[in-house]
């Protein structure tokens, strides 16, 4: 698509493509399972055929997103990259973020480029220090947050205790989309509240492949799971008692958080997270400029640099600037203007970068991330534009360390809650 006059057809296509984008990052404390979840999402979207994660960082195989020698040696994620894949006719842009506190500044910058965050919580440890720091950054930026309780296959805290902690420490209202059947350490599956069914999981090839999932009606689940099922229904009922409708507006406003249970290492509950992202996470929308005026997505191309990474390719000692596309259509080879200097910049070497893997990208839409190779003149926070000048808010170059129900078994309440979910989805 060439950069020409904005015809109605062109505007319609840009809006359509922006509406298909879901751009998010995962925030967590180190060792909560972020890299494993990234791998599991890629597996479920059929981007990869086999997941590399095994139980524990020490004996974990190398994952797609962890590729630098320090990452492999220390079992942590340092560099940020963007994995793009399609799922249910939606384009998912997952921005990988360092989980270790030593690299917090990089994560803060990445959060400036996303529209949503997934808060990954270790079932045994609850909300840890680094998670809360990153939550505060999300709160400052009004990012909607989906909460995933991970590692439910291992012994951990009580589900209701975790909900209380989330409510008390974040101020967010939990809204369950799935609820664990079986206590932590005995993960049978989840109650899928959206479809009112029991999803029973069975590990496949030690978690290296998509888990085998079978679906059962509530009546069948009650018969096969006994107290585990009735306890799940009762516990979920306690959480949703005060919030009978799934409120997607409250989620987008940062007042409520959808809740899902998972075991990323076993690929349990991962598909449900992907479905939640597609159905409820906000698409790419007009981004405010430095004066607070939203730039329409159909405006000529614009974007900003949220990360600069050097030495990603040892053979070429290159320098990659990661750009979040905010409006219009990015086309490889286009000549754009750098707002800070007023100078022109040619985008000849444009790629999608994830770990070691690179792929030339010819076109990108609002919400997408483009890696500009050998862009040595670009700095974090730089705005780029075509035709209509724009400057997006600066990204801090420092880590902001100063950021610091009655039991109910009334089935009508669950039906009302599910109606809210379905209305939000459609």
pLDDT tens, 104-151? 577 788 999 999 999 999 999 999 999 999 999 999 999 999 999 999
Judged against a pLDDT cut of 60, whether residue 3 lies above it is answered with: no
Distance (Å, whole) CA 109 – CA 15? 26
pLDDT band, residue 270 (cuts 50/70/90): very high
Judged against a pLDDT cut of 90, whether residue 390 lies above it is answered with: yes
> Phi and psi (nearest 5°) for 323?
-115, 130
Average pLDDT over residues 10-29: 95
Judged against a pLDDT cut of 80, whether residue 283 lies above it is answered with: yes
Average pLDDT over residues 66-89: 57
Within 8 A by CB and 6+ apart from 409, the residues are 233, 234, 237
Q: In the structure encoding, which two tokens stand for residue 43, read together?
A: 């597996």
- Residue 5 is predicted with a pLDDT of 64
pLDDT band, residue 94 (cuts 50/70/90): very high
- Residue 60 is predicted with a pLDDT of 41
- Residue 392 is predicted with a pLDDT of 97
- Residue 58 is predicted with a pLDDT of 41
pLDDT band, residue 69 (cuts 50/70/90): very low
Alpha-carbon separation of residue 267 from 95, 107, 204, 255, 416 (angstroms)? 20, 25, 9, 29, 30
Is the CB of residue 274 less than 8 Å from the CB of residue 162? no
Tens of pLDDT, residue by residue over 143-202, are 999 999 999 999 999 999 999 999 999 999 999 999 999 999 999 999 999 999 999 999
Bridge partners of residue 30, in order along the sequence:
none
Average pLDDT over residues 375-399: 87
- Residue 80 is predicted with a pLDDT of 45
Is the CB of residue 215 less than 8 Å from the CB of residue 198? yes
- Residue 216 is predicted with a pLDDT of 98
pLDDT band, residue 357 (cuts 50/70/90): low
pTM for the model stands at 0.87
Average pLDDT over residues 219-234: 97
Q: Enter the CATH code of domain 19-280.
A: 3.40.50.300
Average pLDDT over residues 218-235: 97
pLDDT band, residue 55 (cuts 50/70/90): very low
Average pLDDT over residues 18-33: 94
- Residue 48 is predicted with a pLDDT of 65
Of the listed ranges 28-42, 185-199, 287-301, the least confidently predicted one is 28-42
Indicate the pairing of strand 209-216 with strand 256-261.
Answer: unpaired
* 283: DSSP letter: -
Average pLDDT over residues 334-342: 96
Distance (Å, whole) CA 310 – CA 317? 7
| Domain 290-385, CATH among 2.40.30.10, 1.10.150.120, 3.40.1350.10, 3.20.20.70 | 2.40.30.10
Average pLDDT over residues 309-335: 82
- Residue 98 is predicted with a pLDDT of 64
Length of the chain: 426
* Residue 310 burial class via C-beta count within 10 angstroms: exposed 0-12, middle 13-18, buried 19 and up: exposed
Residues of the chain with CATH 2.40.30.10: 290-385
Judged against a pLDDT cut of 70, whether residue 355 lies above it is answered with: no
Cα–Cα nearest to 208, from 86, 322, 60: 60
Residue 317 CA from chain centroid, whole number = 30
- Residue 311 is predicted with a pLDDT of 61
Ranges of H-type helices in 257-377? 270-280
Within 8 A by CB and 6+ apart from 71, the residues are 77, 78, 79
Distance (Å, whole) CA 221 – CA 198? 6
Cα–Cα nearest to 40, from 228, 246, 273: 273
Q: What percent of the chain has pLDDT over 90?
A: 61
Residue 137 CA from chain centroid, whole number = 15
Average pLDDT over residues 290-318: 84
Sole residue written with tokens 């791998």: 39
- Residue 210 is predicted with a pLDDT of 85
Judged against a pLDDT cut of 70, whether residue 356 lies above it is answered with: no
């Amino acid at each position: 698509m060439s950069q020409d006059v904005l015809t109605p057809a062109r505007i319609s296509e840009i809006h359509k493509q922006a509406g298909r984008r879901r751009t998010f990052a995962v925030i967590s404390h180190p060792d909560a399972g972020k890299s494993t979840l990234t791998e599991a999402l890629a597996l479920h979207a059929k981007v990869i055929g086999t997941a590399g994660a095994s139980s524990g960082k020490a004996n974990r195989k190398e994952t797609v997103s962890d590729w630098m020698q320090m990452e492999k040696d220390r079992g942590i994620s340092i560099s940020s990259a963007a994995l793009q894949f399609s799922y249910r006719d939606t384009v998912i842009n997952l921005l990988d973020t360092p989980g270790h506190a030593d690299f917090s500044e990089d994560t803060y910058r990445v959060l400036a480029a996303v529209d949503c965050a997934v808060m990954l919580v270790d079932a045994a440890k609850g909300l840890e220090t680094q998670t809360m720091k990153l939550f505060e950054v999300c709160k400052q930026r009004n990012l909607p947050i989906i909460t995933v309780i991970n590692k439910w296959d291992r012994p951990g805290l009580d589900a209701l205790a975790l909900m209380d902690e989330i409510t008390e420490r974040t101020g967010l209202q939990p809204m369950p989309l799935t609820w664990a059947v079986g206590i932590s350490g005995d993960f049978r599956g989840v109650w899928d509240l959206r479809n009112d069914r029991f999803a029973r999981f069975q590990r496949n090839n030690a978690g290296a492949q998509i888990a085998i999932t079978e679906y059962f009606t509530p009546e069948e689940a009650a018969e096969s799971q006994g107290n585990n099922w009735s306890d799940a229904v009762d516990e979920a009922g306690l959480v949703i008692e005060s919030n009978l409708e799934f409120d997607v507006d409250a989620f987008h406003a940062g007042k409520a958080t959808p809740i899902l249970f998972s075991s990323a290492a076993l690929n349990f509950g991962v598909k449900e997270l992907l479905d939640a992202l597609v159905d409820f996470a906000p698409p790419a929308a007009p981004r405010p400029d430095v004066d607070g005026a939203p730039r329409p997505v159909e405006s000529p191309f614009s974007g900003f640099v949220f990360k600069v990474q050097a030495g990603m390719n040892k053979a070429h000692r290159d320098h990659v600037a990661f750009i979040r596309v905010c409006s219009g259509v990015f086309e490889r080879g286009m000549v754009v203007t750098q707002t800070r200097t007023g100078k022109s910049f040619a985008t000849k070497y444009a790629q999608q970068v994830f770990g070691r893997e690179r792929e030339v990208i010819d076109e990108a839409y609002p919400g997408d991330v483009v890696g500009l190779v050998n862009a040595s003149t670009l700095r974090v926070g730089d705005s780029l534009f075509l035709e209509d000048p724009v400057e997006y808010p600066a990204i801090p170059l420092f880590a902001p360390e100063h950021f610091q129900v009655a039991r109910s078994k009334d089935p009508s309440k669950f039906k009302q809650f599910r109606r809210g979910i379905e209305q939000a989805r459609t």
